[in-house]
Amino acid sequence: MAFEVESRHFGEVVVLAGKAFADQRGYFMETYREDQFLELGLPGTFVQDNHSYSKKGVVRGLHFQWDPPMGKLMRVTRGAAFLVALDLRLGSPTLGKWVGIEATAENRKQVWAPASFARGFCALTDDAEVQYKCTGIYNSKAESAIRWNDPAIGIEWPIRDVIISEKDRNAPGLAEWLASPDARHFTYPAQAAGA
């Protein structure tokens, strides 16, 4: 198998370690295989690929989309980033809990987080590149975010001086999101792998 499950969090977030075949020329690795993803209980179909470039200290997130549900498989292809997933599932025993891992181009870790989790990252190096495969096509009318530094969540970001967009700076806190009617799109247990 080209992938090894390194850890599982909240029943649905999965950290994968890729296996690289290296020699004096460099290395080769598979980053996705439908048959093996299905065998591991992960989605087999992705419909959009995204590529993000960030300077050190940039925080992006915490983003999510419900129509269509957009799960993300995230990996770092240059530099290093702290990848985060936050449980948004109403009724979940881990609602509002988060997990974060350092992923680098060298350690080749990937994080799968379904649509019912908000995702974000912090660039730990200059010229950090994060790529992610998505289970849904982007729809600006059915997306939202949770404020990156909401004290009710307490994410332990590994960088103090952050660079953040105005949109992400002004995102609602978790309590505000949970009070909105749209929060009902994510319930526990999740209905589907992409949901």
Q: What is the pLDDT of residue 18?
A: 84
Tell me the pLDDT of the chain averaged across its residues: 94
Contact 129, 51 (CB under 8 A): yes
Q: What is the pLDDT of residue 27?
A: 86
Nearest to 119 by CA among 136, 105, 93, 100: 100
Q: What is the pLDDT of residue 2?
A: 83
Q: What is the pLDDT of residue 20?
A: 86
Confidence of residue 190 (pLDDT cuts 50, 70, 90): low
Q: What is the pLDDT of residue 3?
A: 83
Residue range 97-116, pLDDT digits in tens = 999 999 999 999 999 999 99
**pLDDT (mean) for 164-190:** 95
* Predicted confidence (pLDDT) at residue 193 exceeds the cutoff of 60: no
Residue range 30-62, pLDDT digits in tens = 899 999 999 999 999 999 999 999 999 999 999
Contact 147, 173 (CB under 8 A): yes
Tracing tokens 């749209």 back to the chain, one arrives at 182
Q: What is the pLDDT of residue 194?
A: 56
**pLDDT (mean) for 171-194:** 87
Catalytic site residues?
63, 132
Fold of 48-185: Jelly Rolls (2.60.120)
What sign results for the dihedral spanned by CA atoms 156, 149, 108, 68? positive
State which amino acid sits at residue 2.
A
- Report domain extents, the chain: 48-185
Prediction pTM value: 0.93
* Predicted confidence (pLDDT) at residue 152 exceeds the cutoff of 80: yes
Q: What is the DSSP string of the chain?
A: --EEEEEEETTTEEEEEE-EEEETTEEEE-S--HHHHHHTT--S---EEEEEEE-TTBEEEEEEEBTTB--EEEEEEESEEEEEEEE--BT-TTTT-EEEEEEETTT-EEEEE-TTEEEEEEE-STTEEEEEEESS---GGGEEE--TT-TTT----S-SS-B--HHHHTPPPHHHHHTSGGGGGSBSS-SSTT-
Q: What is the pLDDT of residue 1?
A: 81
